[in-house]
Amino acid sequence: MKKRFNIQLLIAVLVTTLISSSGCNKNDNNIETIYPVTIGVILPMDQEKGILREKALRTAINIINASGGVGEGHMIELVVRSSAGENRELTAAAAARDIISTKRNVAGFITSFSSCSKGIVEQVAIPDNYPVISGAATSGFLSGISPYFQRLCPPDALEAIVLTEQAKAYGIETVAIAVEVGDVFSTDLAAAFQNAFGAEASPLISFSQSDPSYTSKLDQLLANEPDAIFISMLNPAVYEEFLSRLNDLNINDRLANTRFIMCDAFYTSNVFESPISMMIGEINGFPKNFGAIPAADINTSPYKYFSAELMKQYDQEVASYNAQFFDIGFLYAMALEKTFLDTGTADMVAFRERLSYWIRQISHGDTGDPIVMPSLGWKSIKNACLFGGVNYQGASGNCDIDNQGNSITPYSIFTINGTQANYSFETIRMVYP
């Protein structure tokens, strides 16, 4: 009896093992793990604008993932790293490399500043074929730098022209130019403004933090009592010191008749923490300070949809370049959708090549392609991608990316007014190139 029991037990174990083995093989052969698609995001997380832009981007990605993601159920995973550091260009490239080495299915990157965009494009995108989209990199150096790079903002030359036209409309004849040392955006925009304004723009005077020659450089800047000072600086720590030093020189209202022209980097609440009372007021009926920044038409349905979603998800008002980063999320999602129709992720080099092609293509589409916009909902946009070409109209505008990787948008001419207790930005007018 004991021997018979053991044989029966052995048969039962063998049958169970065969059934289990058969079940495992079936699962292994037919059930494929669906991994997320990773997009690396390099932002200035040491500054308020970096945090706000991340939330604008995540607003779009949250909408897309909540509606099924891309392809056959792939979620989009954002991996955010900061560009903070003494050299943002090197920091950004190193951060991108770290994401590539630690994450699966890295499809591309999203950047903000010109410096970090330059580092990633030159050190990562060009050698290894990673598409990059920036929402705020305006340096002229980046125009046509690579078919893998594109941006949803105009080059500096256009901002320089807009600022020059506004300055001359206010009767400004001479301008001194203060520029931040070592920043790609600051130096490029300063040079573009100098070229656009003409001979009455003085040579560039460069400033860095705790510069031992600060006093003599300020004397150079103000030597000819210019009508205005153009401040081309990106990092708050740099322009806060510059404004503090100027304020110290404003003895007996020395700068009472001096206007201040600001680059778009000043469009952030960080500037309100500086001593800017000398900039507030009017001269001959015109504001003492003004600047220009790429801006969206707030009356369009894509912008209204974005604004409402950003408030609902993050309780956040739309800030500088936020609409561009929201649109980048949808551009990547649509390009991924088209790419999954062409190829899979087994060969990621081929995947990235195709993705790079589709990013520019879906931004403007071909004649007759249907217009899609975020307010239609991701499922509708996804279906449109499945059946043909699309022409994306976003919160920031038409988002048409040309063969140099540029897109042209309207500009807002803004001014700072109020008092130290309640400074605010006010739009003076819109400029439509």
Over residues 353-383, the pLDDT tens digits come to 999 999 999 998 888 899 999 999 999 999 9
Average pLDDT of the segment spanning 239-250: 95
Structure tokens at 184: 């790609």
Q: Are 141 and 188 in contact (CB under 8 A)?
A: yes
**Tokens representing 118?**
């330059």
**Residue 31 pLDDT level (bands cut at 50, 70, 90):** very low
pLDDT score for 34: 81
Predicted pLDDT of residue 379: 97
Question: Does the pLDDT value for residue 7 go beyond 80?
Answer: no
Confidence check: pLDDT of 420 > 90: no
Q: Strands 282-283 and 259-262: what pairing? A: unpaired
Which of the 8 DSSP states describes residue 422? S
pLDDT tens profile 130-178: 999 999 999 999 999 999 999 999 999 999 999 999 999 999 999 999 9
What pLDDT is attached to residue 16? 40
SS3 35: coil
Residue 426: per-residue pLDDT:
95
Phi and psi, residue 149, nearest 5°: -115, 135
Q: Report pLDDT for 12.
A: 41
Tell me the mean pLDDT in the region 310-316.
98
Instruction: Please check the confidence at residue 119 and state whether its pLDDT lies above 60.
Output: yes
- Do residues 216 and 206 make contact, with C-beta atoms less than 8 angstroms apart? no
State residue 1's pLDDT score: 42
Q: Mean per-residue pLDDT for 123-130?
A: 97
All structural domains of the chain, each given as residue ranges with its CATH number in brackets, are: 37-154+299-392 (3.40.50.2300), 156-294+411-431 (3.40.50.2300)
Task: Name the one residue in this structure whose structure tokens are 């790293």.
Answer: 81
The pLDDT of residue 171 is 96
Cα separation, 143 vs 80, in Å, equals 25
Q: Would you say 396 and 388 are in contact if contact means Cβ atoms under 8 Å apart?
A: no
pLDDT digits (tens, 9 = 90+) for 169-226: 999 999 999 999 999 999 999 999 999 999 888 889 999 998 899 999 999 999 999 9
Compute the C-alpha angle 317/323/327, nearest 5°. 140
Which residue(s) pair with 294 in the sheet?
A: 411
Share of the chain above pLDDT 90, in %: 84
Confidence category of residue 22, pLDDT binned at 50, 70, 90: very low
Cα–Cα distance for residue pair 320/270, rounded to 1 Å: 12
pLDDT at 27: 39
Q: pLDDT value at position 365? A: 84
Q: How confident is the model over 304-317, as a mean pLDDT?
A: 98
Which token pair is 227? 């009508």
The two three-digit tokens of residue 274, written as one number: 């500086």
Per-residue pLDDT at 275 = 94
Contact 264, 293 (CB under 8 A): yes
Task: Please state whether beta strands 424-431 and 391-392 pair in parallel, antiparallel, or not at all (unpaired).
Answer: unpaired
CA dihedral 209, 93, 131, 59 (to 10 degrees): -60
Structure-token pair, residue 319: 């800030």
- Terminal alpha carbon distance of the chain: 96
- Rg from Cα positions in the chain: 27
Mean pLDDT in the chain?
91
Residue 236 host element (H or E) = helix 236-249
> Where is pLDDT greater, at 109 or 31?
109
**Could you tell me if 71 and 338 are in contact, meaning their C-beta atoms sit under 8 angstroms apart?**
no
- Residues composing the chain: 433
* pLDDT at residue number 405: 97
Residue 71, pLDDT above cutoff 90:
yes
Report how far apart, in Å, the C-alpha atoms of 433 and of each of 50, 156, 192, 301 are. Answer: 27, 13, 17, 21
pLDDT tens track for 261-289? 999 999 999 899 999 999 999 999 999 99
CA distance 336 to 342: 10
